[in-house]
Structure 1
Amino acid sequence: MKIKIAIVGVGNCASSFLQGLEYYKHVDETSSPVPGLMHNNFGGYLIRDIEVVAAFDVNGDKIGKDISEAIWTPPTNSRKFADVPYKGVAVNAGFLGDGIAPHMQDYFPLQEAPERIAEVLKSSGAEMLVSFLPVGSQKATHFYAQACLDAGIAFINGIPEFVASDPEWAEKFRQAGIPCAGDDIQSQVGATILHRALVGLVRERGQVIENSYQLDIGGNMDFDNLTDRRRLASKKISKTDPVIFEAGTKDVRVVPADYISFLADNKIAYINIKGRQFGDFPFEIELKMSVEDSPNNAGVMVDAVRAMKLSLDRKLSGYQEWSAYFFKHPLRLLPLGEARRAVEDFIVGR
């Protein structure tokens, strides 16, 4: 059975996601452990069961193109790892709102048609909408969340604008009998989850953390977007809260430091942890990591989509507790190990 999804934001993350659907389409339950997948089979669903049936963007150069072509249209700069054949799914004009930072609005022609979005969602047969909107798109995120309520479909929020983790929005979805998940996708092995794991390990081993910081740099449109510091507020909360949760101190700082265009979709993170160990001696951990940002995102979203399909199959509504493993800013944070166990229990129906 196909999992029919719509996506909003046909940029780097959507490109890696679509490529991943092709790259892993031959993986089945009995395949050997596959690099990049946390679950070959997720509750009976394989990667090849996911089908994109609708897409939205406000970049006029992408609108009207088949999604297989639109994912390569500038300013998208994610790396290619799979061919994506013609899908017969044209990109629709979406809702602009605050989705594009002011300094980026002359990068490409803008086009929107917000009045048609709920209608397109209904007619496409989509069961859920996945948001790959730019950071700082609060109005746009709320618009699409409401469009899901109007269309009667589930919502997966992959960005740090709060819907699933907002009790009021979560209650709206519960009352409508529709599930929602989020917020802000937590990459497979990204800077935030690595930072969380490190500070958790330090505390588990009996040491005390005094302070910690994380600096992120990159060259994709998300980092360009964040050079408008007004769009940073929710991102800093979403990336800092889970580290504070594990670290046991509020002296934690996580900052998207700068946009460096020639890095393209490569993200570099610097993590520093200082504390006290046995004998009250000081210690310091200094770490650098370098990853391709968008595939790191897509590797989690393919599981979140399949988890949402299980939620729909089971007629669940409102905030979905499995969000705590897949997203940085869930409604209720859980320790990583506990969040992972919750996902495995959910898969088997416990």
Structure 2
Amino acid sequence: STFVAGLEKLKKGEIEPYGVPLAGELPIDFKDIRIVGSYDVDRAKIGKKLSEVVSQYWCDVNSLSDDPVVSTGVHLGSVKNLPIEAEGLEDSMTLKEAIERLVDEWSKLDPDVIVNTCTTEAFKPFGNKEELLKAIENNDKERLTATQVYAYAATLYAKKRGGAAFVNVIPTYIANDPAFVELAKGNNLVVFGDDGATGATPFTADVLSHLAQRNRYVKDVAQFNIGGNMDFLALTDEGKNKGKEFTKSSIVKDILGYDAPHYIKPTGYLEPLGDKKFIAIHIEYTSFNGATDELMISGRINDSPALGGLLVDLVRLGKIALNRKEYGTVYPVNA
């Protein structure tokens, strides 16, 4: 809803593009983005106009230039233990039938870019496409996640259409799973992912890059995130938290070239914090002549707006990559 509301205000010139990293640097304008479809698994939202759903969260957005009806998606247990009444296509049909339904609907909507923003899931990567195809054929609803189903449907849609892009902003491996990357390359699909990484993690990454450039030796890293929104509630599930932890903590070795001791993962749920999460970062490092320095940073970050602004860029970058036929994943864009 934050992405939709913010995009509408951008189009109308009501807000400045603060929080959109590549605001005026891309050949595609904000006004060129059209929302042709929307999916949810919350029974209270399905069947309503997108504007009606958005207005529940943003009272200053009463109408949308693009206002599709919210369609039924796939949940596969991803919203279990959350305070919503879930409804998914898989509740009344096989996974294969659900995928066929999605591809058929997308073919009518004709999107260039499909964005996955569903709730963080507990997942297991496939590694090879044969295992993925077998799970779908066997209707294995315990093995597959909603994101994996959407991503596979996107490969079939891209093949049928002649090209599309899939942007995955949750931790489930798509851009980092060889099974999906292989399928994407062979079916004209661009894949961006995995995880939005819009709060403390990119800040930690920037600080680590700064220290590496100045030849400081990082001794340890601690990063805490506590929030009160639906995603942080979902992350109280250990399996979901584990997936998020890996996508966050993998930045340490990627940036430094060595795996400094670290603790980087969502730390807890506190409802009064709402969408404005609390972050804290502590980094200890060795400087010249053996001196040990420490950095301690704390802050409050609005979670949804940070991702919403990034999505404005990712949608445009997805279209650019599609135009260039850069099928498979585009590593420099990935989290």
The interval holding the TM-score normalised by the smaller chain is 0.7 to 0.9
Write the letter of the residue equivalent to 1:61: A
Residue 85 of structure 1 corresponds to 63
TM normalised by structure 2 equals: 0.83
Q: In the alignment, which of 45, 67, 89 is matched to residue 113 of structure 1? A: 89
SS class of match (2:34): strand
Q: How does 1:199-214 map to 2 (within 5 A)?
A: 199-214=208-223
1:34 positional shift: 4.3
Q: Deviations over 1:198-244 (max 9, x none)?
A: 12222322321111110100011010001111211221110011133
Deviation at 1:318?
1.1
For 1:235, the equivalent position in structure 2 comes to 244
Q: 2:78 is matched by which residue type in structure 1?
A: G
CA contact (8 A) 1:42 1:307 kept: no
User: What's the secondary structure of 1:217's corresponding residue?
Assistant: strand
Distance 1:229 1:291, change over 3 A: same
> Match for 1:157: what amino acid?
N
Q: Is the 8 A contact 2:155 2:188 kept in 1?
A: no
Structure 1 residues 225, 63: closer, same or farther in 2, change over 3 A? same
Name the residue aligned to 2:168. Answer: 157
- Range with bigger deviation, 192-201 or 111-120: 111-120
Question: Match of 1:206, SS?
Answer: coil
- Matched residue, 2:153: 147
Matched, 1:64 2:47: yes
Distance change in 2, residues 1:88/1:276 (3 Å): closer
Report the CA distance shift for 1:84/1:147 in structure 2 as closer, same or farther (over 3 A). Answer: farther
1:164-191 Cα offsets, whole Å, 9 max, x none, are 121221110101122111111132xx20
- Alignment partner for residue 5 of structure 2, among 2, 11, 19? 19
Cα deviation 1:117-169 (Å, max 9, x = unaligned) = 22211111212210001111541111001111122232111110011121221
**Residues 270, 289 of structure 1: 8 Å contact kept:** yes
Q: How far apart, CA to CA, are the structure 1 residues paired with 2:168 and 2:67?
A: 25
Matched residues in 1 for 2:22 and 2:259: separation? Answer: 33
Corresponding residue for residue 252 of structure 1: 262
Paired with 1:133 and 1:34, the residues of 2 have a C-alpha distance of: 25
Match of 2:161 in 1: none
Corresponding pairs, count: 298
> In 2 relative to 1, CA 110–81 (structure 1 residues): closer, same or farther, beyond 3 Å?
closer
Percent of residue pairs identical: 27
> In 2 relative to 1, CA 286–20 (structure 1 residues): closer, same or farther, beyond 3 Å?
same
Higher mean displacement: 311-320 or 124-133: 311-320
What's the counterpart of residue 346 of structure 1?
Answer: none
Task: Give the whole-Å Cα distance in 1 for the aligned partners of 2:283 and 2:210.
Answer: 12
| Distance in 1 between residues matched to 2:71 and 2:267, nearest whole Å | 33
Work out whether residues 118 and 170 of structure 2, in 8 Å CA contact, stay in contact via their aligned partners in 1.
yes
User: Residue 344 of structure 1 corresponds to which residue in structure 2?
Assistant: none
Answer yes or no: is 1:98 the counterpart of 2:84: no
Pairing 1:181–2:192 present: yes
- Cα distance between partner residues in 2 of 1:235 and 1:53: 29
Is the CA contact (8 Å cut-off) linking 2:122 and 2:242 kept in structure 1?
Answer: no
Supply the AA of the counterpart residue of 2:253: I
Residue identity in the other structure for 1:261: E
CA offset at residue 72 of structure 1? 4.7
What amino acid maps onto 1:19 in structure 2? A
- Aligned pairs for 1:230-309 (under 5 A) are 230-247=239-256, 248-309=258-319
Q: What 5-or-longer segments of structure 2 have no aligned partner?
A: 91-97, 124-144, 159-163
Alpha-carbon distance in 1 for matches of 2:205, 2:17: 25
TM-score w.r.t. structure 1 length?
Answer: 0.80
CA distance in 1, matches of 2:215, 2:149: 46
Gap runs ≥5 in structure 1: 1-14, 329-350
Distance (Å, rounded) in 1 between the aligned partners of 2:301 and 2:61: 21
